[in-house]
Amino acid sequence: MLHGKRVLLIVSGGIAAYKSLDLIRRLRERGAGVRCVLTAGGAHFVTPLSLAALSEDTVFTDLFSLTTESEMGHIRLSREADLLVVAPATADILAKMAHGRADDLATTALLATDKPVLIAPAMNVRMWNHAATQANLRTLESRGVLRVGPVEGDMACGEYGPGRMSEVMEIVAAVESFFADRSPLAGKRALVTSGPTHEPIDPVRYIANRASGKQGHAIAAALARAGAATTLVTGPTHEPDPAGVTVVRIESAAEMLAACKAALPADVAVFAAAVSDWRIAAQAGQKIKKNAGAPPQLSLAENPDILATLAAPGNLRPRLVIGFAAETEKVVENAQAKLKRKRCDWIVANDVSPATGTFGGSDNTVHLVTGKGVEDWPPMSKTDVAARLIERIGMALAERA
Ligand code: CTP
């Protein structure tokens, strides 16, 4: 449910801080990555060591720590999260948040972030009911801060009333519903191909192409972030595995086809791999020796077209099939022909002439070719191409539902 999501958990000083230890476990069980910031107050209740052990990550405590600043920087800390969770959120930290104070690492991260924030307040009932706390809360909620709890119950101070931090599973549910609301592709299955294929000549040699896998990997990562259960079938690349994605590594086109078929059914399939069009007709079982006379004559056989195979009408055809067209001339024209020939729904066409630096580079200039027409997208990073494509996929699947 929370695969690939990154939570920055801020633990402030309240007796409920012990529940945050379990919160880390429950969030991680669901696939979220959890990184913790512990306030000085929080450190009176739980130790950085417990948080580090449970989160399996560094725990950040000090705004002016040389290590924190040199390795990470307090701004990056919140930038790298999808959601900030303040649990427990004391009256004091809520007051600081409401007034924009930044006198420690936690409050600085909260002020520096443009990411959504969820608070789980925990405090004495009178502090909760105090007009100052209620005013702070209204300020925070008017700015879009999300809240879970507090609940009514016996308090550590011996009183009874609202102010107890919500139970861990309620906080988990609030985190899950936050991501579900922002996951346009939740419940959908996606398949992505990426990278080059390697077609063996003999056990040590192969033919391949210059694809880096950057675009396909970025698309798989963006699909997973949008909530789709994503399988990435990739040829050999240097790209790291995207978070929350099932990665199937293959070498040849034949293996890619088999892995794609095994990943079906899917609602959407994006074929970003640069599949080798040909393979060696008869792969040598042993390394070909050069002293065998004249250089070997390699005879080629055509590879299966994975996109065309999976786009063909049939029960298992994904509802939305998207191909790529890497062209060096007549980009849109060639892409339109490919769209028809391969019977896919959309083609993302790009110019891969050496001068564009697209192959292996981080940027891409693409045209989205559909049955309805052509959209020219401005030059942008491959990550932005992925994000924009996923937005369009979400809209198209909603229309086709
Ligand atoms: N493709 C595929 N299997 C192949 C060849 C291509 O799935 N054997 C897919 C690519 O992943 C891409 C699309 O088809 O989504 C177009 O790839 P491209 O290399 O541009 O097209 P080709 O069919 O190889 O056409 P040509 O080389 O003639 O331009």
Q: Using a 6 Å cutoff on CB, does residue 333 contact ligand 1? A: no
Q: Parse the chain into domains and list their residue ranges.
A: 6-181, 189-400
Residue 249 is predicted with a pLDDT of 98
| CA–centroid distance, residue 325 to ligand 1 (Å) | 7
Q: Using a 6 Å cutoff on CB, does residue 305 contact ligand 1? A: yes
Residue 267 is predicted with a pLDDT of 98
d(CA 7, CA 57): 12
| CA–centroid distance, residue 344 to ligand 1 (Å) | 12
Probe target for ligand 1 pocket from 275, 328, 334, 367, with the most ligand atoms within 8 Å of CB: 275
| CA–centroid distance, residue 332 to ligand 1 (Å) | 15
d(CA 172, CA 14): 19
| CA–centroid distance, residue 335 to ligand 1 (Å) | 10
Ligand 1 atom nearest residue 334's Cα = 29
Query: Atom 12, ligand 1: which residue's CA is nearest?
Result: 324
Structure tokens at 228: 């789709």
What is the mean pLDDT of each successive set of 10 residues along the chain, which is 401 residues long? 90 96 97 96 97 96 69 76 97 98 94 94 96 97 93 84 94 93 89 98 95 94 91 96 92 98 98 97 92 85 98 96 93 96 96 77 89 93 92 91 71
**Amino acid letter at 396?**
A
Q: Using a 6 Å cutoff on CB, does residue 110 contact ligand 1? A: no
Neighbours of 75 (CB within 10 A): 12
Q: Using a 6 Å cutoff on CB, does residue 59 contact ligand 1? A: no
At residue 26, what are phi and psi to the nearest 5 degrees? -65, -40
Q: Using a 6 Å cutoff on CB, does residue 271 contact ligand 1? A: yes
d(CA 174, CA 111): 22
Domain 189-400: give its CATH superfamily. Answer: CoaB-like (3.40.50.10300)
d(CA 367, CA 388): 12
Which residues are known catalytic residues?
Answer: 157
Sign, CA dihedral 140-141-146-152, equals: positive
Same fold, 6-181 and 189-400: yes
Residue 358 is predicted with a pLDDT of 75
Q: Which CATH architecture has domain 6-181?
A: 3-Layer(aba) Sandwich (3.40)
Choose among 187, 118, 225: nearest CA to 397. Answer: 187
Sign, CA dihedral 10-16-21-25, equals: negative
Q: Using a 6 Å cutoff on CB, does residue 321 contact ligand 1? A: no
Residue 71 is predicted with a pLDDT of 59
| CA–centroid distance, residue 305 to ligand 1 (Å) | 7
Q: Using a 6 Å cutoff on CB, does residue 352 contact ligand 1? A: no
